[in-house]
Structure 1
Amino acid sequence: MTRHDAIVIGAGPNGLAAAITLARAGRDVVLCEAADAPGGAVRTQELTLPGFLHDTFSSVYPAGAASPVFARWPLEDFGLEWVHPAVSMAHPFPDGGAVALHQSLERTAASLDASHAGDGAAWEQFAGPLLEVFPQLRRTMIGGWFPVVGPAGLLARHGMQGTLEFARLLLASARTFSTELFAGPRAQAWLAGSCLHGDVAADDAGSAITGTYLQLLGHFVGWPSPRGGAQRLADALAGYLESLGGTLRVNSRVTKVITAGGRTAGVELANGERLRANVVVADLLPGGLLSVAGDALGSAYRARLERYRLGPATVKVDWALDDVVPWTADEARGAGTVHVGGHLEDLVDAQRTVGAGRLPERPFLLFGQQSVADPSRAPEGKHTAWAYTRVPQSHRFDADGVTAFAERIDAQIERFAPGFRDRVLARHVMGPTDLEERNANLPGGDVGGGSYAIDQLIFRPVPGVSPYRTTVEGLYLGSAATFPGGAVHGACGHAAARVALTEGRVRRWL
């Protein structure tokens, strides 16, 4: 067994962040990744045709641009460059109108007012005070445990009323919040569409916070993507880790966490090799942790991990295009992200259908067209695009079924961009099983790292004093299953590594 100070399992953004945090503290750390490249769900590949670079999973990273973890590190020295589209997000309607999210609060308000007079002022009145304290709010939403800094900042800056407004937002449903804030139906759909990035139903408590926070991020840092593809972010993190002396091992699947005397002793790889370390940080969801640590976790903790709930499954489609998408709405043509679904009731109906275990005829789509602002992703004059939508975990697709559902996705885009199909050169479709086969941290095709229902929103993966500690001494969890959850920000892995470092210092002192 080779000896190291620490081992990290999984080279997704959280695993990379954990390894970097340990390496910066002077630890000899080895990062083991099952795939042939780092990144986890941050990958770029030629999925359709040669020369067309598609982000295999995730693509747009407002949380990454805002991450207080990434901001500490010189990732630009390792090739990371953020590209901002002219419009962060557009929400079009079938008649050719749209409401846009701009980084500028004033331009966003103007777009909202164009859809219904007064809605822009309503958004400025709501968002303005929160943007004043956004650094504190960001530390609550993308920080480690325990999340108190944002509310405390609001209390200090805007008194009890501002703090109560934030608390109400945490508990509100997307439908209730959007209809109370805006008088016009288009602004309501614009806000609710961002709320549907999460898996909580628009009528359920806790669904408003996701979308509202995404809109605020759009003002604070935009909704950017890495130039050249998502892989550039993963490669920058990996490059920085190696510059610190950390070791990255790809094609190295960990199959077992080795324990001795109730504490971590190392890991075993699929090829039988063993690596020794007293600290192991796992960028795994509960199912993955159970598979590698098993009985060592103890029956009570295992039972609680087994109750961790996944979110809906996902179908994702990538296209190679002969030209830009012919959106009817002007605002959508320059947007990096487009929410395709129409009016609020259309969004709610699609989500209700999924919740009832059926496939929607007109699915709500998260649509990306990064090549509009980043021509390096496609041959000259050509473009790439992608879309994904949530589907029931209970639905079992065969290959023909996924292809048939992709036709519904094409048809939904055609409603808002007539002529879209004529510009498609090639299409690549992934169903839930395909996503999980490519990345074991997407079980059942859940791209969110577990449900964000209100009872699992903060206390992830189980209620406890620290979400990053497990019942095995020296074994820590630093994945999207821990606070603050999914999105690409590295905060979960960074927090887990900090807990490991702190407890290591305490043990030496004792």
Structure 2
Amino acid sequence: MSDAVVIGAGPNGLAAAIRLAEAGRQVLILEAADAPGGAVRTEELTLPGFRHDTFSSVYPAAAASPVFGRMPLAEHGLEWVHPEAAYAHPLPGGDARLLYRDLDRTVANLGADGPAWERFAKPFLDNFEAVRATMLSGFPPIGGPLKLLTQAGPLRTLGFTRLLPGKATGLGARLFQDQGSRAWLYGAAMHGDTPPDGTGSAIAAFYLNLVGHAVGWPSPKGGAERLTDALVGYFKSLGGELRVNARVRKITSAGGRVTGVETADEHFPAKLVVADVMPSALTRMAELPGWYRVALNRYVQGASTVKVDWALDGPIPWENPDVHGAGTVHVAGTEAEFMHSVKQAHDGIADLPFLLLGQQSIADPTRAPEGKHTAWAYTHGPQEGVAWEQVTPEVVERMETQVERFAPGFRDRILARHILSPGGLEARNANLVGGDVGGGSYRISQLVFRPLPKLTPYATPLKGLYIGSAATFPGGAVHGVPGDAAARAALKG
């Protein structure tokens, strides 16, 4: 009998299992897929020798994570690769705005708007540890704000607090005169599902840029799965056990307490279970009180996603050569084009969709055969009202047209492509409900209280059962904080 069972071997499940194992518990992880990693996987999706990150690929949150940062992951093979620029935002006419890890270089790139960015960002960068403690901590996030208040003072703390309900468009209007600089700022907000003119988007836009200065936007050398390999290696070094192809069908209980979990073939007794699953899955697995079940079923998923991976005969021929060195590219065009695309994507398919694009093989040539390259991009759309399986080919055509606008000749370099529709993403990873790669919506009503308003959101009414997925605070991205926080709550009992 294991002391604890963790459901799911994604970053949060692994973080939870490691915390429990470090505390001396005998831990078993049960993973439904044929390999661990959740949304941190690498596969030859297109052609032999082309290593593509199936889901996520760029990890500023992992590099900043206080959970991963305390683990000896380098000893288990993890090596970060930093591109020359964290991201680029190409503009018509060969112009571009870029975020560099170096603040001075970013300020110079922003031109006349650079000094405003420096005045705004530098005080928070100087107090980044306090900012990180606020953004990447378990719930309730008390220690970080107190540290920020002590270190940065009340005025800076108030300024940070103002960002929480703010809009990226409002922040952009306050900081920048140039529309290109404003479009540059908005792109970071689109890593979630809150549009730049939506409440709560300012903090997302600002924080991702700040993290870029503080720790960069790196990727693991050799592919995303190297992060998974390191986490699994450390977990096993602690005596933990991992089983794949072991889908949990039921969490068993008696007398209001967990007794174990069941797969199709076996029952695993345990008095403590941490589930790295979405709320809808938890309600199917466990016998939960009616009020809690209703609350979980009200959890709102984020946008759907279409993702394309390309095997390329050479690097993407960006019109602006500086874009070539960026690990991530926000393909959206001018501020007006950007906002028009976002509005169209709220209800359907944008004519020229916003793309989050990655070109990791530029800085990491191990991902493709010599002289060749990989690239990927995704775009968002609504969860409902679109027949995604039917329209995905048209969406891909529009995505490639959008890249071609800023990189003439891009299509000529495509050797092969691999496409994942929203349904395809969910089929490969059940936590990506409806193709939602963010673990639930980040609209203001669900930004802090995840998955429901509760002092200890990781604990469920069923004693011994905890939820530690991206649906819990502080939410998605690859940093392991929800899983670690759920395990700490479980250890407190």
Say if 2:305 is the partner of 1:319.
Answer: no
AA of the residue aligned to 2:310: W
Q: Is the 1:99–1:331 contact (alpha carbons within 8 Å) kept by the matching residues of 2?
A: no
Say if 2:336 is the partner of 1:336.
Answer: no
One of 341, 346, 362 as aligned partner of 2:352: 362
* 1:49 matched residue in structure 2: 47
Go from structure 1 to structure 2 and tell me whether the alpha carbon gap of 1:308 and 1:400 turns closer, same or farther (over 3 Å shift). Answer: closer
**Runs in 1 of length 4+ with deviation above 6 angstroms?**
none
* 1:101 matched residue in structure 2: 99
User: Aligned with 1:254: secondary structure?
Assistant: coil
One of 467, 470, 474 as aligned partner of 2:464: 474
Q: How many residues align?
A: 493
Q: Distance in 1 between matches of 2:369 and 2:196?
A: 40
Q: Please, which moves more after superposition, 19-28 or 131-140?
A: 131-140
Q: Is the 2:189–2:201 contact (alpha carbons within 8 Å) kept by the matching residues of 1?
A: yes
RMSD: 0.9
Task: Give identity over the alignment, percent.
Answer: 58
Q: Please, which moves more after superposition, 194-203 or 230-239?
A: 194-203
Offset, 1:401:
2.2
* 1:349 matched residue in structure 2: 340
AA of the residue aligned to 1:120: G
Alignment deviations for residues 335-360 of structure 1 (CA, whole Å, 9 cap, x no partner): 000000011222211111121x2100
* 2:438 matched residue in structure 1: 448
Go from structure 1 to structure 2 and tell me whether the alpha carbon gap of 1:19 and 1:338 turns closer, same or farther (over 3 Å shift). Answer: same
Alignment deviations for residues 110-152 of structure 1 (CA, whole Å, 9 cap, x no partner): 0011xxx1x1111111111001111111011111111123322
Alignment deviations for residues 342-399 of structure 1 (CA, whole Å, 9 cap, x no partner): 11222211111121x2100100000000000000000000000000010111144465
User: Aligned with 2:94: secondary structure?
Assistant: coil
Q: Distance in 1 between matches of 2:458 and 2:212?
A: 29
Q: Which runs of 5+ in 1 are unaligned?
A: 504-510
Q: Distance in 2 between matches of 1:149 and 1:326?
A: 46
TM-score (norm 1): 0.95
* 2:280 matched residue in structure 1: 287
One of 167, 178, 181 as aligned partner of 1:184: 178
* 2:404 matched residue in structure 1: 414
Q: Distance in 1 between matches of 2:302 and 2:67?
A: 26
One of 60, 63, 78 as aligned partner of 1:62: 60
AA of the residue aligned to 1:444: G
One of 246, 249, 253 as aligned partner of 2:243: 249
Offset, 1:158:
3.1
Q: How does 1:165-176 map to 2 (within 5 A)?
A: 165-176=159-170
Q: Is the 2:130–2:151 contact (alpha carbons within 8 Å) kept by the matching residues of 1?
A: no
* 2:152 matched residue in structure 1: 158
AA of the residue aligned to 1:177: L
AA of the residue aligned to 1:328: E
Q: Distance in 2 between matches of 1:493 and 1:93?
A: 39
Q: Is the 1:311–1:446 contact (alpha carbons within 8 Å) kept by the matching residues of 2?
A: yes
Q: Distance in 2 between matches of 1:71 and 1:494?
A: 12
Offset, 1:400:
4.9
Alignment deviations for residues 146-190 of structure 1 (CA, whole Å, 9 cap, x no partner): 112332233223322111101111111111111111111111110
AA of the residue aligned to 2:299: Y
One of 246, 271, 276 as aligned partner of 2:269: 276
Alignment deviations for residues 222-274 of structure 1 (CA, whole Å, 9 cap, x no partner): 00000000000011101111110000000000000000111000000022x00
Q: Which runs of 5+ in 2 are unaligned?
A: none
Q: Distance in 2 between matches of 1:501 and 1:111?
A: 48
Offset, 1:282:
0.2
* 1:382 matched residue in structure 2: 372
* 2:450 matched residue in structure 1: 460
One of 476, 484, 504 as aligned partner of 2:474: 484
